[in-house]
Structure 1
C-alpha cells in the first residue's frame, strides 16, 4: 500500500499517462491560425498600398488628359448650343456606355449601369453600344437584345482621339438611323465624387434642322464630317473623363482597403498576444503543478 503522501503523485502520474494531448493543444493550433491570418492580411495590405501608389501617380496624368479633352468637347458642343440643335423624336436613340474592363475601383461601373438602365426604361425605342466588359456584363442581364456593339480593351491607358475615332467609325456603320446618340459616362466632380452624366451627339438631320445653323455658314457637304467629328470628339471627352474617374475611384478603394487591413491587423495582433500569454500562463501552471507533485512524492 502507498502512503497518503504518495497517492496524489500517483494519481497525477496516471492522469499524465492516460491523457492523449496537452490541455493547451487547442491554444497552439489557434496561435498558428492567427499567425497565418496575420501574414495573409499583411500581404494584402502590401498589395493594396502598392495599387494605391500606382493609382496616385496615374491620376495626375489622367486628370490632365481629362481637362484637355473637356476643353475640346465643350468648345465643340458650344456650336450646337448656339445653333439650338435639338434631337429628333421620331427615331430611335442610341446609348453609348463608356465603361472599361478593369475592376477594383468601387461601384463606379455599377452606378453607370444603373443610370443606363433607368434611361432605357424611359426610352424603350433605343439601342446600346458598350465600351468595356464591366458594363456589358451588367447590362447583358437586363437588355441583352439591345446591345448592338461592344468593345473590349478600351481605356486600359489614357484614351486618345484615335481610339475614339475608331469607335465612332464603327458606330457610323450601324444600319439604323438614330435621332440622337447619348454618350453615358462618369463625370469627374472631384477626387472623391463622380456621377453618371450624358453628352449628346446629334445626327446629321438634326444638325441640318437647327434654327441657327445658317449663322455658321457650313456647307452641306461638310455636315457629315462635322457630325462624325462631333461624335468622335464627345467620345474622346467621355472616355478621358471616365478614365480619370476610374483611376480616382481605384485609388480611394485601395486606400480604404489598406486602412481596413490595418485595423484587422491591429485586432488580430491583440488577439494573438492575449492567446500567446494565456498559453504561456497555462504552461507555467503545469510546470509548477508538476514540480509541487514531485516534491510531495
Structure 2
C-alpha cells in the first residue's frame, strides 16, 4: 500500500509540474498579447491623428493636378505607342498597412505586361522596390528611399523629378499610385505625363498664349513634378488610412485572443487546483 501511494505521489508530482509549466506558458503568452494590443491601439491613435493632415495635403495637391488635367484635356497631346514608356511607381518605406504595397506592385506588373516589356521602371519607396526587384530587376533604372514619413512637399518632389529627368528623354511617362477613395478603400491609379515634343505637337496648344522657346519643356517638367506630388499625397493618405484600419483589426484580433487565453488560463488553473485536491485526498486515503 505504501509503494502504491508513493508511485501515485510521483505521478501526481509530474502532472503538477506539467500543469504549472502549461500555466506559466499561457500566462506569458497572455502577457505578450496584451503588450501587442497596447502597441496596435497606440499605432491606431497615431494614424488617426495623422490622417486629417494627410487628407488636407491630398486635397491641396488635387487642386494643382486638376489644372494639369484641364491643360491636357484642352491641348489633347498624343502618346507614341512605339516609344519606350517610363513607369514611376509611387509607394513608401513603411509597412504594417495591409496590402497597399502589394496592390500597387501588382498593378505595375500588369501594366508592364500590357506594354510588352517596352518600359523602364522608377520606384519611390523601399517596399515597392523590394517587390518589383523580384521580377523586373533588369528594368529598374532608379529608386528613391526615405519617403512617406511625412506628407510630401513640392521641394522634395522637385528633387525626385530632377533625378528622373536625368535618365533621358521619354515620350511617355506614367505614374502609378494608390488613389484615396474613402477611409476604408483605395485603388491603384495612374497619371500620364507627356514629353515636351508631344506638347509642342498637340493640336489644341494654340488655345493658349505661350511665350518663350522652352515653354513646352518647362510645362513637361512642371507637370511631372506636379503629378508626382499628387501621387505621393494620394498614396500617403491611402497608407495612413490603411494602417489605421490594419491596426484596428489587429487590436480586435488581439482582444479576441486575450479573451480566449483568459478562459483557457482560468480553466487550466481550476484543473490544477482540482488535481491537487485529488492528490491530497488520494494521499490521505493511502495512509489510512
Aligned to 2:69: 77
SS of residue paired to 2:150: coil
SS of residue paired to 1:232: helix
**1:162 is aligned to 2:155:** yes
For the Cα contact (< 8 Å) 2:107–2:188, is it kept in 1?
yes
CA distance in 2, matches of 1:14, 1:286: 11
1:142-221 residue pairs with structure 2 within 5 A?
A: 142-175=135-168, 177-219=169-211, 220-221=213-214
Q: How big is each residue's C-alpha offset from its partner over 1:112-150, in whole Å with a ceiling of 9 and x where there is no partner?
A: 000000011111211111101111111111111111110
For the Cα contact (< 8 Å) 1:89–1:179, is it kept in 2?
no
In terms of Rg, which structure is larger?
Answer: 1
SS of residue paired to 2:191: strand
CA distance in 2, matches of 1:56, 1:132: 22
- Select the residue among 231, 243, 248 that pairs with 1:238: 231
Aligned to 2:52: 60
1:34-49 residue pairs with structure 2 within 5 A?
A: 34-49=26-41
Q: Structure 1 residues 109-118 or 177-186, which shifts more? A: 177-186
Q: CA RMSD in A?
A: 1.5
Q: How big is each residue's C-alpha offset from its partner over 1:79-99, in whole Å with a ceiling of 9 and x where there is no partner?
A: 111111222223111000011
Q: Structure 1 residues 272-281 or 12-21, which shifts more? A: 12-21
Aligned to 1:3: none
Question: How far is the alpha carbon of 1:293 from its aligned partner?
Answer: 3.6
Q: How big is each residue's C-alpha offset from its partner over 1:244-282, in whole Å with a ceiling of 9 and x where there is no partner?
A: 111111111111111111111111111111110011011
Aligned to 1:21: 13
Q: Unaligned 5+ residue runs, structure 1?
A: 1-7
Question: How far is the alpha carbon of 1:13 from its aligned partner?
Answer: 4.1
Q: Structure 1 residues 78-87 or 256-265, which shifts more? A: 78-87
Question: How far is the alpha carbon of 1:53 from its aligned partner?
Answer: 0.6
Aligned to 1:284: 277
SS of residue paired to 2:182: coil
TM-score by length of 2: 0.95
Q: How big is each residue's C-alpha offset from its partner over 1:206-251, in whole Å with a ceiling of 9 and x where there is no partner?
A: 1111111111122343221111111111110000110111111111
Question: How far is the alpha carbon of 1:20 from its aligned partner?
Answer: 8.7
Q: Structure 1 residues 11-20 or 116-125, which shifts more? A: 11-20
SS of residue paired to 2:94: coil
CA distance in 2, matches of 1:100, 1:19: 58
Aligned to 2:104: 112
CA distance in 2, matches of 1:18, 1:256: 47
CA distance in 1, matches of 2:78, 2:223: 14
CA distance in 1, matches of 2:242, 2:130: 20
- Select the residue among 262, 265, 269 that pairs with 1:269: 262
Aligned to 1:96: 88
Aligned to 1:256: 249
SS of residue paired to 2:173: strand
Question: How far is the alpha carbon of 1:288 from its aligned partner?
Answer: 2.1
Q: Unaligned 5+ residue runs, structure 2?
A: none
For the Cα contact (< 8 Å) 1:116–1:184, is it kept in 2?
yes
SS of residue paired to 2:178: strand
CA distance in 2, matches of 1:82, 1:272: 69
- Select the residue among 127, 130, 133 that pairs with 1:140: 133
